[in-house]
Amino acid sequence: MARRYDSSTTTFSPEGRLHQVEYAIEAINNAGTCVGILAKDGVVMASEKKVTSSLLAPAKSSEKTYKLCQHAACNVAGLTADANILIDQARLRAGRYAYQYCEAIPVEQLVEHVCNYKQAYTQYGGLRPFGVAFLFAGYDTHYGFQLYQSDPSGNYSGWKATVIGANNQAGKSFLKNEYGAKKEDEDEKMKGEEEEKSAEEAPEASMPDVQEALRLAVKVLNKTMDATASSPDKMELFCMTLDDDGECSHKILSADEAQKVIDEIEAETAPSGDS
Amino acid sequence: KYQVQISEARKMSILEYNGAAIIAMGGKDCVGIACDTRLGAQAQTVSCDFRKVFKMNDRTFVGLAGLATDVLTMNNLLKFRQNLYELREERQLTPKVFSNLLSNLLYEKRFGPYFIEPVVAGLDENNKPFLSGMDLIGAPVYTDDFVVSGTATANMYGMCETLYKKDMEPEELFETLSQALLASVDRDALSGWGAVVHIVTKDGVISRELKGRRD
């Protein structure tokens, strides 16, 4: 088998694979799910909170969501210890860029820096890769709101909506159908074929707003989480929007606000046989 | 002694090249910090709106007197370090910790220093005034009355010593601080051309611009 090509990160297998990197990606598939959804007026990230014990005294405000700078934040899936190193790297990079240029770092550049750092561990040194996947949410004046996903290989890509962590395939296929899907009642009658044409030309037309995105994110988590009943203590909802001064605001929803979103979804799905 | 000779001008200390005057004073549950707004190239005045006092957060202010390029650089560096602190620790820098950070940053450059002599003013966790002053390699002094820095320190020490009283309320602190600064810079060629005064209380900051002699 490929046993003899497994142990070193810096060796390709005969099939042209880096097994250590793939095993690192496997490690993340056991971690708490994170959903990211890009909206017209912001970015939403929802994550499954894996509460291990009621005796646990959390030191930081979140184990999943981290602020990187004024205009960027990330969600973590994987080994928290590994994530802490990378988050610190990202914060330093954003700070140094601002120090040098007196300008906010463009989001993609920040993501690329973190990914380049991760990539080094797949090519040099004989050290293992980082067992973390990130969802980066950010805003800059060049491209507006953005959502990126990165994995242990150092690969990254921009998304309108994506899922990482446990059951991410189920989450992604759910999003494929649900993201940007118009509500059945009014639009089908009015738009007709025009909608199909415009869906390709103007994809922003079907981009949800932050409130819709929050509901969609919770729906995805409901699908991917094992538990049947969703509640605020099992999930963490984060949204990034612009406030009135044009500054980015990072908000982790309180238990009440999260409960409200959950209730809205339950109200939606309840009268399913009516229309 | 760090000295520089620029074209035909006489030798002067590098710390006196741009000119500055900063005073910070403690009051009753409040603190004030004021600076002049002149920026010069030795004798020539280049700007009348070069502020040397920077707000770090609602409770911490820093005044940086000395070479203007280092004033701006140190401000950017402090903002960077403050930002990192707040991201990592998820809490705000208190004036005392900020002062220690600044002292540390300056001493790191012990044998090639930043040419600035800073002043830190703020309110601690109990809303009590905090003041500290430092030399260019970070040696701090902590007082509860006043700290001064810049090209007119001899004048400022005299004015403050005379006008200062303990436990002044914010309005009286403003008057005292303003008079001390204005009178000091009038007798100094390198500072003046306007001033800014910030009075910090637990309820917020009030900033006022002063018009003085424009010579």
Cβ-Cβ contacts under 8 Å, B88 against chain A: 88, 91
Is residue A93 less than 8 Å (CB to CB) from chain B? no
Question: Is the ipTM, as predicted for this complex, more than 0.90?
Answer: no
**Residue A187 clears pLDDT 80, i.e. is over it:** no
Tell me whether residues B80 and A88 touch, CB distance under 8 A.
no
| A184 token code pair | 């059945």
CB A132 within 8 A of CB A78: yes
Residue ranges in B43-201 assigned as alpha helix (H): 68-89, 95-108, 153-163, 170-186
Q: What percent of chain B has pLDDT over 90?
A: 93
Interface probe for B, chosen from A93, A97, A99, A103 (most Cβ of B below 10 Å), is A99
| Count of Cβ atoms closer than 10 Å to residue B109 Cβ | 13
Contact with chain B for residue A103, Cβ under 8 A: no
pLDDT band at A5 (very low <50, low <70, confident <90, very high): low
Q: A92 and B84: CB-CB below 8 Å? A: yes
The per-residue pLDDT for range A41-83, each reduced to its tens digit, is 999 999 998 876 778 887 788 889 999 999 999 999 999 999 9
Report the mean per-residue pLDDT for chain B.
95
Classify B147 as helix, strand or coil. Answer: strand
DSSP A184-222: HHHHHHHHTHHHHHHHHH-GGGG---HHHHHHHHHHHHH
Contact (CB<8Å) B83/A88: no
From chain A, pick out residues whose CB is under 8 angstroms from the CB of B76.
99, 102
Asked if the Cβ–Cβ distance from B87 to A96 is below 8 Å, we say: no
Q: Check pLDDT > 60 for residue B15.
A: yes
Average pLDDT over every residue of A189-198:
45
What are the φ and ψ backbone dihedral angles of A72, each rounded to 5 degrees?
-150, 145
pLDDT digits (tens, 9 = 90+) for B77-104: 999 999 999 999 999 999 999 999 999 9
Task: Say yes or no: B84 contacts chain A, CB-CB below 8 A.
Answer: yes
Amino acid in position A262: I
pLDDT in tens, A198-231: 444 444 457 899 999 999 999 999 999 876 678 8
**What mean pLDDT do residues B193-207 have?**
97
pLDDT at residue B6 in the model: 63
Could you write out the DSSP letters of every residue in B148-173?
Answer: EEETTHHHHHHHHHHH--SS--HHHH
Of the candidates B113, B105, B101, B106, the one whose C-alpha atom is nearest the C-alpha of residue B15 is B113
Q: Do B80 and A91 touch (CB under 8 A)?
A: no
Closest CA to B53 of B138, B165, B140, B149: B149
Q: Is B76 on the interface with A (CB under 8 A)?
A: yes
How far is the C-alpha of B83 from the C-alpha of B74, rounded, in Å?
A: 14
What whole-number distance in Å separates Cα of residue A232 and Cα of residue A86?
A: 28
Q: Determine the Cα angle at B189 with ends B183 and B192, to 5°.
A: 50
Q: Is pLDDT at A190 greater than 60 in this prediction?
A: no
Q: Is A102 on the interface with B (CB under 8 A)?
A: yes
Instruction: Give the mean model confidence (pLDDT) for residues A182-186.
Output: 47
Chain B nearest-CA distance from A53, in A, is: 23
Task: Please indicate whether residue B39 or residue A193 has the higher confidence score (pLDDT).
Answer: B39
**What pLDDT does residue A182 have?**
53
Name the percent of chain A lying above pLDDT 70.
87
List of residues 6+ apart from B57 with CB closer than 8 A: B82, B92, B93
Q: Does B89 touch chain A (CB under 8 A)?
A: no
pLDDT at position B93, please?
Answer: 96
B80 in A contact zone (CB under 8 Å): yes
pLDDT score of A57: 83
Cα separation, B137 vs B110, whole angstroms:
6
Confidence (pLDDT) at A9: 78
The CA-based dihedral angle spanning residues B105, B110, B112, B113, taken in that order and rounded to the nearest 10 degrees: 50
Residue A41 burial (10 A CB sphere; 0-12, 13-18, 19+): middle
Angle between helices A80-101 and A107-120 (to 10 degrees): 130
Integer-rounded Cα Rg, in Å, for chain A is: 20
pLDDT score, position B2: 83
Query: How far apart (Å, rounded) are the C-alpha atoms in residues B56 and B119?
Result: 13
pLDDT on residue B9: 59
The model's pTM:
0.88
Please, which residues bridge with residue A157 across strands?
A149
CB B83 to CB A68 under 8 A?
Answer: no
Least confident of A52-56, B15-19, B51-55, B76-80: A52-56
Q: How confident is the model at residue A271 (pLDDT cuts 50, 70, 90)?
A: low
CA distances to A129, A138, B59, B98 from B131, rounded to whole Å, are 48, 38, 12, 11
Which residues in B lie closer than 8 A to residue A91 (C-beta atoms)?
Answer: 84, 87-88
Tell whether the model's pLDDT for residue A185 goes beyond 50: no
Q: How far is CA A202 from CA A180, A198, A207, A257, B126, in A?
A: 12, 5, 10, 32, 56
Residues of B in contact with A61 (CB under 8 A): 90
pLDDT band (50, 70, 90) for residue A174: very high
pLDDT at B12: 79
What average pLDDT does the segment A128-138 reach?
Answer: 95
Helix (H) or strand (E) holding A177: helix A168-178
Q: How far is B194 from chain A (nearest CA, A)?
A: 27
CA B177, B178, B180, B184 dihedral sign is positive
CB contact under 8 A, B90 and A69: no
Mind telling me how many Å the CA of B99 is from chain A's nearest CA?
20
Nearest to A91 among B77, B79, B84 (CB): B84
**Higher-pLDDT residue of A3, A213:** A213
Q: Report phi then psi at B96, rounded to 5.
A: -65, -45
